[in-house]
Amino acid sequence: MAGKKAQIKKAVIFIVEGNSDKQALERIFQKIYKTKNIVFKFTNGDITSDENMNESKVVGAIYNKVDEYMKDKKLLPKHIWQIVHIFDTDGAYVPDTAIMKGGTKEFMYSPTCISCKNVQSVLDRNKRKSNLMNYLLGIQDIKGIPYICYFVSSNLDHALYNIQNLNKELKGDYADAFYSEFEGKEEMFIDFLKEEVANGVPTAFLASWRYIKEDVHSLERHTNLHIYFEMNPYL
């Protein structure tokens, strides 16, 4: 009698901005959620800040990352349990008065303001990014696959390492060091988010998003990623 066909473990696809984000988080989530197939895919930059991105394109751009994985593993949409998008807020929701003229072409972040030589470029980016994040926040599925988004503020480096404006060349080293801190004790990552990073963020999902849009919270060190573990028990 032929043996039963092995059951495919459904995948959760996490969408992040860069490879260092994947380095820092993927193995932690994999160890916590042993019964699910946790996969991190990165978009090589912030798709919500892309000048060529808009509401008609952004869902397709996200799905393309999922489709790449499905084609590589010969899977169907029914094998994907969920798409989880983790946004860097990058101060996108701050009032215009928190944007200052600075001495660099690059955007420089602090917990209270964004500075740049070209103030208008920050204003334009913030409008584009906040509009796209708001749009995606209202989406519940992508081609039938459940979709939900969370934030880290002002970006992943700030949330995890408490460093803003981290040199790109150091991101991989910091990511590896961060994972090493939790290796073998991955569930402590959840306490770390709650105790050191959430910093007053409400524990209800929609309330957490309302909070991050107020004042300069999207520049401060915050996250609502801890809510994911409440909404998706791992025991």
Question: How far apart are the C-alpha atoms of 234 and 66, rounded to whole Å?
Answer: 23
204-230 per-position pLDDT tens digit: 999 999 999 999 999 999 999 999 999
Task: Report the percent of the chain where pLDDT is more than 70.
Answer: 97
Question: How far apart are the C-alpha atoms of 135 and 80, rounded to whole Å?
Answer: 22
74-131 per-position pLDDT tens digit: 999 999 999 999 999 999 999 999 999 999 999 999 999 999 999 999 999 999 999 9
Nearest CA among 43, 69, 72 for reference residue 58: 43
What pLDDT does 1 receive? 41
